[in-house]
Amino acid sequence: FLHHGSQVHSRAMALLPGLKEHCSILGTARCKEEGGSLPLDVAARRDLLVQSLEAGAAAIDIEVRSLESLHDVVAKAKSLGIPVVASFHDFEGTPPFYRLRDQIEKAVAGGATVVKLAVRVESMIALFGLVSLFQQGWPVRISAMGMGSHGKLSRLVLAKAGSVLNYGYLREPNAPGQWPAGELRRLIAEI
């Protein structure tokens, strides 16, 4: 909703109070560098995130790289008891463990409740590296998912490893390796 311009954004915000009675809404205004579809500046992203908080979002998602510039939004979410998901995206590959660890540590320092890592997974070795994240005893909950040739498999394996947010699509995928939401829910319950 938030990625398609102000007119759609206004309609989406008007629908949010009714939608939140049927499902949990994760508010985000993704920066262009991590997959956002509009080149929004920090002020515009701040406004969208605050509006989503005020409209009843169950959680907000802010990129790890943006936590410092959006620290006031993090503080507002925390004051409302709304979880902050700090996300990191790598569309090119799976970074080494130390880089993922650094992202998690920055997210913790920035006030995150959950850290979401979405990376390109093209091998079983890369997938096993992500699985190992769930054995580290982090002070926050971790959500990890793959994109790419091993994306679908990663979403099932990582859900069973303990990933707390597992994304599926409703109409069409917005990243390679996503499952339809209903099928993902069914498969996770089955395995």
> What crossing angle do the helices spanning 42-54 and 71-79 adopt, rounded to 10°?
10
**Could you tell me which of 65, 117, 64 has the C-alpha nearest to residue 95?**
117
Instruction: For residues 169 and 167, give the distance between their C-alpha atoms in angstroms, rounded to a whole number.
Output: 7
Single-letter amino acid code for the residue at 82: I
The whole-angstrom distance between residue 26's C-alpha and the CA centroid of its chain comes to 8
The whole-angstrom distance between residue 70's C-alpha and the CA centroid of its chain comes to 16
β-partners of residue 89 are 118
Which residues form the catalytic set?
89, 116
